[in-house]
């Protein structure tokens, strides 16, 4: 299928492994963060979010960790499955306006059976 | 099913054509967005509508013309585009402003300008 975001960093894992995808954000004023998953030929799909008053949040098979000291965000996927293969990107929001959400370039996750 | 539906999914148009992209959201949101996604750049915000009023125009060329007839529908009218405008155009919606409110995307419309 079609894809965007060529020449992205790529993480290759085996099925069943745990995956960790990292994101460095730029604005120390950012107070809300979102992880999206984008499969080939599809739009970005919301995975999980976290506010700056938290340092960890868990969802179903996913955990997001936030380190405000070094402006770093990570997405952990437990027991990675082939269906998890996609581009993952983080977004940071630094205000209440409509244009204050900034997206990263993304990481491609490839899961081998 | 994301709650945000875009049509057409694929569009090929010549540089002299006029076409439109359509977006409909079924989430009861009051803000709608157009984003552009190309291979060389992260997601780029184009336009934002809140309660049917345009609140952001992110320096987008006039060959792209948005229209928001109501809070559930958003159009992007295309006229005399350039080949470099070929990209994935994503519609999105949110409830209110972005502070703590997640933005939800449609599946996108792949545009090829020939």
Other Cβ atoms less than 10 A from the Cβ of A49: the count is 19
**pLDDT at B1 (0 to 100):** 66
Task: Write the residue in B58, B105, B107 that is nearest to A99 by C-beta.
Answer: B58
Average pLDDT over residues A42-49: 93
Task: Write the residue in A6, A44, A104 that is nearest to B105 by C-beta.
Answer: A44
**pLDDT at A48 (0 to 100):** 96
Task: Write the residue in A4, A44, A97 that is nearest to B97 by C-beta.
Answer: A97
**pLDDT at A2 (0 to 100):** 41
Per-residue pLDDT tens digits for B12-70: 999 999 999 999 999 999 899 999 998 877 889 999 998 888 887 778 999 999 999 99
What is A63-113 written as a DSSP string? EEEEETTTTEEEEEESS--GGG-EEEEEEEE-SSSTT-EEE---EEEEEE-
**Which chain B residues contact residue A35 at CB under 8 A?**
none
Report CB contact under 8 Å: A4, B39.
yes
**pLDDT at A85 (0 to 100):** 97
pLDDT-based confidence at residue B97 (cuts at 50, 70, 90): low
pLDDT at A65 over 90: yes
Residue A93 CA neighbour count, 13 Å, CB half: 22
Report CB contact under 8 Å: B103, A51.
no
Task: Write the residue in A36, A46, A99 that is nearest to B48 by C-beta.
Answer: A99
**pLDDT at A4 (0 to 100):** 40
Report CB contact under 8 Å: B55, A98.
yes
Helix (H) / strand (E) element for A79: namely none
Residues B88, B90, B91: CA angle, nearest 5 degrees = 160
Average pLDDT over residues A3-29: 84
pLDDT at A111 over 60: yes
Per-residue pLDDT tens digits for B69-78: 999 999 999 9
pLDDT at A3 over 50: no
- For chain B, report the end-to-end CA distance as a whole number of angstroms: 31
Among B48, B66, B99, the residue to mutate for chain A (most A Cβ within 10 A): B99
Residues in chain A: 113
Stronger pLDDT, B77 or A104, i.e. the higher one: B77
**pLDDT at A93 (0 to 100):** 87
Token pair of B29, please? 């949101």
Among B49, B57, B103, B109, the residue to mutate for chain A (most A Cβ within 10 A): B103
Q: Determine contact, residues B30/B17, Cβ cutoff 8 Å.
A: no
Report CB contact under 8 Å: A43, B103.
no
Token pair of B104, please? 């939800």
Q: Determine contact, residues A57/B14, Cβ cutoff 8 Å.
A: no
pLDDT at A46 over 80: yes
Question: What CA–CA distances, in Å, run from A111 to A9, A39, A107?
Answer: 14, 13, 13
């Amino acid at each position: 299928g079609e894809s965007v975001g060529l020449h992205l960093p790529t993480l290759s894992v085996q099925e069943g492994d745990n995956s960790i995808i990292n994101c460095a954000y730029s604005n120390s004023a950012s107070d809300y963060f979102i992880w999206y998953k984008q499969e080939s030929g599809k739009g970005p799909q919301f995975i999980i979010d976290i506010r700056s008053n938290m340092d960890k949040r868990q969802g179903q098979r996913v955990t997001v960790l936030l380190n405000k000291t070094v402006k770093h965000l990570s997405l952990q996927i437990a027991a990675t499955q082939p269906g998890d293969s996609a581009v993952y990107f983080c977004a940071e929001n630094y205000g209440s306006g409509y244009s204050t959400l900034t997206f990263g370039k993304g990481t491609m996750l490839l899961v081998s059976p | 099913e994301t709650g945000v539906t875009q049509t057409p999914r694929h569009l090929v148009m010549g540089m002299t054509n006029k076409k439109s992209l359509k977006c409909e959201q079924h989430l009861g949101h009051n803000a709608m967005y157009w984003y552009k996604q190309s291979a060389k750049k992260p997601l780029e915000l184009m336009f934002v509508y809140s309660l049917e009023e345009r609140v952001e125009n992110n320096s987008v060329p006039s060959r792209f013309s948005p229209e928001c007839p109501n809070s559930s529908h958003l159009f992007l009218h295309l006229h005399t585009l350039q080949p470099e405008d070929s990209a994935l155009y994503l519609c999105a919606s949110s409830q209110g402003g972005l502070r703590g409110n997640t933005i939800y995307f449609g599946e996108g419309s792949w545009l090829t300008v020939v």
